Structure 1
Amino acid sequence: MVHIAIIGGTGVYDPSILKNVYDDKMNTPYGEVAYKIGEFGDKKIAFIPRHGSHHSIPPHLINYRANIWAIKKLGVGHIIATTAVGSLNERMKPGDFVLVDQFLDFTKNRVSTFYEGGDRGVVHLDVTEPYCPKLRSFIEQAAQQLNLPIHNGGVYVCTDGPRFETPAEIKMFKQLGGDLVGMTNVPEVVLANEAEMCYSTISMVTNFAAGISPQVLTHAEVLEIMAENGEKIKKLIMRSIENINIKDDSCKCRKMLAEYGGFKL
């Protein structure tokens, strides 16, 4: 059984951190998923590169349902996801980490449920707390132990991409209470909740968003900040994994669909 999954980019994964690493793949009802499995201490870890191993999948074409289904099938109880984000909040500066606790969904063409009627039926998921408070506390503790700048709480605005947002959109998102803007966290977080797993996102601020930043946004800028902070986020994830109590399955995240008889693969 795999205990913890990491969903993120290649900058997060370092083979020297895990032991006995191997590649594997799984067929799901939504398509094939490739991933790596390794060990860290007494915990088995799965890693899925959200955009593919060569960053070849744009955010609006990521197979979110296949990824989450495969993670659940592996027996995972906790998911740590990483995202690169632009900031709408001057307190959340480039290089900071943010543990988001709410989202605003501005995606238009993504399926955000495993339950579309038919044999699987329909469910209405409660997303009062979409990001697991317990898991966020483990990660916050790890950041404090490593003396890394982190904000526990923030509103993630999710857009379709792959283009960056306009200054007018950013102004609107900020007025609506958004702190960060990115392109990948929805429907991933929703599907993880449906699949009854504890899920938390570590968002790395790579830039101030359009209209706030004094310069034109580029993907190279994002990659530069990611590279500068790559070692920090890897250390943060590994220390978080040390802190996680994998034997505790009492979290309410594990019972999100209790009234429907639980999540069924």
Structure 2
Amino acid sequence: MTVYAIIGGTGLTQLEGLTIRQALPLETPYGKPSADVLRGEYAGREVLFLARHGHPHRIPPHQVNYRANLWALREAGAEAFLAVNAVGGIHAAMGTGHLCVPHQIVDYTYGRAHTYFEGELDAVTHVDFSYPYDEALRQKLIAALGAEGCAWSGHGVYGCTQGPRLETAAEITRLERDGCDIVGMTGMPEAVLARELDLPYACLALVVNPAAGKSHQLITMADIERALSEGMGRVKSVLGRLLASH
């Protein structure tokens, strides 16, 4: 059976219901990951779990060591990545609490260590990134969402910004013009690093606020935390359904 690694984002620094068998304080050629890799049992099967922002939540999106995180998970035995991301909603359908399995991504980040293929190489390597998410894994998430009975979308374009600040209304207008449906800060370079490791990767995104300018109210952390608290239960249920059926 496939060993899935769950990468928990904001609101999912620990996976309630995970029976932890082992905490692995791994070192990698790229430094330390955000937290120990946890090996355990969830929904009746072996999984790996890593808190993207550390536990407690302390590492901002632009300072996450994405290379170390994915490398450590692979070294621990991960065969596929299920990434959980908190995002803002741009498209009208992406209201607070909506769950989205994006099919494309636009990268607006800068200055992040974004590849394993650098330094003293034997040859230059380019990976095909036309379709950034693994389609078979996306379909498994979609099937689990379909059984959950909540508001969801099986496609969407994820615009990944640098952070840690939220975007301006003008920036969101630009992203919308570029075709983005949701906006977050952690989708890249995570997705491309998984591709460089040749491991399937898919994202389950929870909309926790309307993007800047998409609401008459200011975005507050209290509102975001409320949406996270309400939505992460559905996220865990979806992950449990996927794991139990595959």
Aligned to 2:124: 122
Cα distance in 1 for residues equivalent to 2:142 and 2:2: 23
Give the TM-score, by structure 1 length: 0.87
Q: Deviations over 1:38-66 (max 9, x none)?
A: 02366321111001101100000000000
Is the counterpart of residue 134 in structure 1 residue 131 in structure 2? no
Residue 112 of structure 1 aligns with an amino acid whose one-letter code is: H
Cα distance in 1 for residues equivalent to 2:230 and 2:174: 30
Residue 46 of structure 2 aligns with an amino acid whose one-letter code is: K
Residue 26 of structure 1 aligns with an amino acid whose one-letter code is: L
Kept in 1, the 8 Å contact 2:20–2:38? The answer is: no
Aligned to 2:8: 8
Cα distance in 2 for residues equivalent to 1:166 and 1:72: 36
Paired residue for 1:63, among 58, 62, 65? 65
Residue 59 of structure 2 aligns with an amino acid whose one-letter code is: I
Kept in 2, the 8 Å contact 1:85–1:204? The answer is: yes
Paired residue for 1:150, among 146, 149, 152? 152
Give the TM-score, by structure 2 length: 0.93
Cα distance in 2 for residues equivalent to 1:94 and 1:144: 18
* Residue segments in structure 1 that go unaligned for 5+ positions in a row: 245-265
User: For the structure 1 residues 10 and 222, does the alpha-carbon distance in structure 2 shift closer, same or farther, using more than 3 Å as the test?
Assistant: closer
Residue 135 of structure 1 aligns with an amino acid whose one-letter code is: L
User: For the structure 1 residues 149 and 156, does the alpha-carbon distance in structure 2 shift closer, same or farther, using more than 3 Å as the test?
Assistant: same
Kept in 2, the 8 Å contact 1:143–1:236? The answer is: yes
Q: Secondary structure at the match of 1:142?
A: helix
Q: Secondary structure at the match of 1:202?
A: strand
Paired residue for 2:87, among 85, 88, 92? 85
Cα distance in 1 for residues equivalent to 2:145 and 2:71: 29
Cα distance in 2 for residues equivalent to 1:47 and 1:197: 16
Aligned to 1:25: 25
Question: How many aligned positions are there?
Answer: 243
Aligned to 1:213: 215
Q: Secondary structure at the match of 2:217?
A: coil
Q: Deviations over 1:82-117 (max 9, x none)?
A: 111111100111101000111111101112110014
Cα distance in 2 for residues equivalent to 1:133 and 1:228: 28
Give the C-alpha shift of residue 219 in structure 1: 2.4
Kept in 2, the 8 Å contact 1:84–1:222? The answer is: no
Q: Deviations over 1:138-170 (max 9, x none)?
A: 111111112122211110011110000001101
Q: Secondary structure at the match of 2:132?
A: coil
Kept in 1, the 8 Å contact 2:10–2:85? The answer is: no
**1:1-265 counterparts in 2 under 5 A?**
3-9=3-9, 11-12=11-12, 13-15=14-16, 17-33=17-33, 34-40=36-42, 43-119=45-121, 121-244=123-246
* Residue segments in structure 2 that go unaligned for 5+ positions in a row: none
Q: Deviations over 1:177-223 (max 9, x none)?
A: 01011000100000011101110100001111111121111222221
Residue 31 of structure 1 aligns with an amino acid whose one-letter code is: G
Kept in 1, the 8 Å contact 2:37–2:73? The answer is: no
Cα distance in 2 for residues equivalent to 1:46 and 1:170: 34
Q: Secondary structure at the match of 1:227?
A: helix
Q: Secondary structure at the match of 1:26?
A: coil
Give the C-alpha shift of residue 120 in structure 1: 5.9
CA RMSD of aligned residues (A): 1.7
Cα distance in 1 for residues equivalent to 2:245 and 2:115: 30
